[in-house]
Amino acid sequence: MGRAPCCDKANVKKGPWSPEEDAKLKSYIEQNGTGGNWIALPQKIGLKRCGKSCRLRWLNYLRPNIKHGGFSEEEDNIICSLYISIGSRWSIIAAQLPGRTDNDIKNYWNTRLKKKLLGKQRKEHNHQARRIDGLKQEISLMMTMNKEAVDNSMVLSSNCNNTETPYWPELPVLAPIPYSNQDARSLNDHASIRRLLMKLGGRFSSDDESIHQGGNMEQLLPINVMSSAPDVTIYPQEGAPSYLAATSSPGALNNPTYPFENPQFMMEGSGVNLLQGHDQHQPNHDIGQLVGFNSSSHGMVDGLEFLYGDELYNNRNGGEGMTYGDMLARSGSYSVYDTQPVADSTNSNYDQLGSSFDELRYSGGVAE
DNA sequence: AAATCGTACAACCGCTCAACC
DNA sequence: TGGTTGAGCGGTTGTACGATT
């Protein structure tokens, strides 16, 4: 039994709005406001439209000071930055861009910005494939370097459109970030894009994917992470949900108030590693030992085909064994993890672990 | 010139949340 | 306290239009 429809679908007009309809709606709202009831509004003004449709039309098109198209570089950067930080919460992103609507930004992201980044990513992948050997040496070198040296080797750019280096937008996130189950749902769907953004030059940590897959960080096996670059760790304030803990982007290092002006958060300074487990002194293991890449039980890399290239993706689907370490090496990304071994990939915790590792500890950004 | 394809954007759908009764 | 309802949100679809074949 579904919920009752918000209006009589049979007597409601759908499709594009006519100028007459626009004029009716606009003039009424400008004179009387919405009256706090969108459902009743169309009847009041004699429009054969659903109230939801009226609301959308007003918010996305008729409202004063709405801008359409012509996104600036700065707006691109803000969108990228916020997407990395909070995912596809378009309404929050829109709140940071005066005159832009969530729908507009969503469309812009899906039709242009995402493709722009994907195109760049493909270029990078081809380039990186040629330096795999060197990369492996680089990884072991990096592991022995002190933190400052590693940090210096990271090329961080504030420009999304920079085609020469991986980028990480350095713009501050200004919005308070409310969180809800609904938010978690939406975050899941764009995880692969965020991975792309991470790979393009930054690091990102989030446990949201594990949450909406039914996971609970406290239920997971201890996971320890030793990141090779300084991070800022955000701790939820007492009383805030534990899943609010997140590691900021390197861009945050430039902004002492990053990432959220949100009383739910407190922040410890740079150079603090993300420690999600209990024992931070475990030896480092290749995560490939932990997460077999030929498992069919979990879509750990679903959606990553564009990130790692078709060949890689096909290998995985073809059942060829490939470790996560291999994947990292081939993709030109690397990470240094502390983990607890998992004996069996069919373990019931596997799904949770896979997604959690994937989200929590993916890091990228190899300096050219 | 017609058909096909790709892109951009408007609009719709279904869901969650919160207010209200 | 539980049910109902409207608002708001994000994902998806539909369509117009320009580019390409």
pLDDT tens-digit readout, A253-281: 233 233 333 333 333 332 223 223 333 33
Tally of structural domains, chain A: 1
Alpha carbon A194 to its chain's center = 4
Mean pLDDT of chain A: 50
Please state, in angstroms and rounded to a whole number, the distance separating the CA atoms of residues A153 and A155.
6
CA of A189: nucleotide with nearest C1': C11
Please state, in angstroms and rounded to a whole number, the distance separating the CA atoms of residues A200 and A46.
52
Given a cut of 70, whether residue A289 has pLDDT beyond it is no
Is A28 contained in some domain? yes
Residue of A198 and A256 predicted with greater confidence: A198
Is A30 contained in some domain? yes
Q: Which residues pair with A246 in a beta bridge?
A: A234
H/E run at residue A253: none
Is A50 contained in some domain? yes
Phi–psi pair at A290, nearest 5 degrees: -90, -45
A335 within 8 A of A328, measured Cβ to Cβ: yes
> Cβ of residue A235 near strand B, that is under 7 Å?
no
pLDDT band at A316 (very low <50, low <70, confident <90, very high): very low
Please state, in angstroms and rounded to a whole number, the distance separating the CA atoms of residues A335 and A329.
10
- Give me the CA A342–C1' C21 separation in Å, rounded: 55
Residue-level length of chain A: 368
Is A254 contained in some domain? no
Is A56 contained in some domain? yes
Q: What is the mean pLDDT of residues A25-36?
A: 82
Please state, in angstroms and rounded to a whole number, the distance separating the CA atoms of residues A235 and A260.
12
Structural domain for A47, as ranges: 11-64
Nearest protein residue by Cα to C1' of nucleotide C11: A186
Given a cut of 70, whether residue A321 has pLDDT beyond it is no
Phi-psi region of A211 (alpha: psi -120 to 50; beta: other; left: phi over 0): alpha
Q: Which residues pair with A323 in a beta bridge?
A: A292
Q: What is the mean pLDDT of residues A344-366?
A: 32
Given a cut of 50, whether residue A136 has pLDDT beyond it is no
How many other β-carbons are positioned within 10 Å of the β-carbon of residue A334? 20
Residue A259: per-residue pLDDT: 34
Q: Which of A336, A338, A332 is nearest to A196 (CA)?
A: A332
Q: What is the mean pLDDT of residues A302-307?
A: 37
A17 within 8 A of A57, measured Cβ to Cβ: yes
**DSSP single-letter state for residue A111:** I
A190 within 8 A of A87, measured Cβ to Cβ: yes
Is A36 contained in some domain? yes
Q: Residues 6 or more apart from A22 whose CB is under 8 A from it? A: A57, A61, A62
> Cβ of residue A63 near strand B, that is under 7 Å?
no
pLDDT band at A128 (very low <50, low <70, confident <90, very high): low
Is A207 contained in some domain? no
Q: Which residues pair with A235 in a beta bridge?
A: A266
> Cβ of residue A61 near strand B, that is under 7 Å?
yes
Which pairing describes strands A284-285 and A337-338: parallel, antiparallel, or unpaired?
Answer: antiparallel
Q: Residues 6 or more apart from A349 whose CB is under 8 A from it? A: A220, A221, A342
Given a cut of 80, whether residue A89 has pLDDT beyond it is yes
Please state, in angstroms and rounded to a whole number, the distance separating the CA atoms of residues A232 and A251.
10
Residue A94: per-residue pLDDT: 84
CA of A54: nucleotide with nearest C1': B11
Residue of A173 and A113 predicted with greater confidence: A113
- Give me the CA A36–C1' B20 separation in Å, rounded: 14
Is A45 contained in some domain? yes
**DSSP single-letter state for residue A287:** H
Which range of A71-75, A125-129, A363-367 scores highest in mean pLDDT? It is A71-75
The CATH code of the domain that includes A41 is 1.10.10.60
Q: Using a pLDDT cut of 70, give the percent of chain A over it.
A: 29
Please state, in angstroms and rounded to a whole number, the distance separating the CA atoms of residues A28 and A51.
14
Which range of A151-165, A188-202, A292-306 scores highest in mean pLDDT? It is A188-202
Please state, in angstroms and rounded to a whole number, the distance separating the CA atoms of residues A179 and A340.
30
pLDDT band at A13 (very low <50, low <70, confident <90, very high): confident
Which pairing describes strands A337-338 and A233-236: parallel, antiparallel, or unpaired?
Answer: unpaired
Q: What is the mean pLDDT of residues A221-240?
A: 31
Q: Which residues pair with A337 in a beta bridge?
A: A225, A285
